[in-house]
A and B are shown apart, each in its own frame.
Chain A
Amino acid sequence: MLTKGMRICSVVCLAGVLVAWFTLGANLGWTKTSIATQHVDEITGIEFPVFENRFVPGVEFLALGIGGAIALAALSFLPNLKKNNL
């Protein structure tokens, strides 16, 4: 019962992380907590960034999520859990 639950959890975790990473920008860099949009001052012609607080998960988020899902799935295959048929 427990092993089945762990495997379902790992699949849900993997899917959740992939969907979150993809829908929040599929960022291949590090996680960002702010995003800049470029604006131009009409008089001086200076280009300047305006920051907006936004969470954009990066590759470490992806790696942690996938790693966690794999670890959970691997745990469910531990002999003790299988033997006790938990």
Chain B
Amino acid sequence: MKKISQGEVEREFQKALAVEYVKNYCKKNGLSIQKLRKQNFALCDNECAFYVQPIDYVKTDQLVIDGGPKPQVTLIIRHEKEELQIEETEYTKVFLKKE
């Protein structure tokens, strides 16, 4: 049986909550929830983000700390003044637009 850490479970749960929160926003703005679900997710402090990383980067001998293509953030949820705000980035339409 695959062992899953508590941290992993919590991250999955955080991501599920975030996806649920942006569902209506995505519907209204023509963004794909399916695509969003497949993206990476990070939460720190008062904000969380969905992001993509190019997976076809093969020049591993040239990779150093912070080397290679940078992650591209597609959608941010921010908690400010007791309110949640959704923020798009330059990559939102590129990676999340419905086909």
Q: Check if A and B associate.
A: no
Binding site for B on A (CB under 8 A): none
Name B residues whose Cβ lies closer than 8 Å to a Cβ of A.
Answer: none
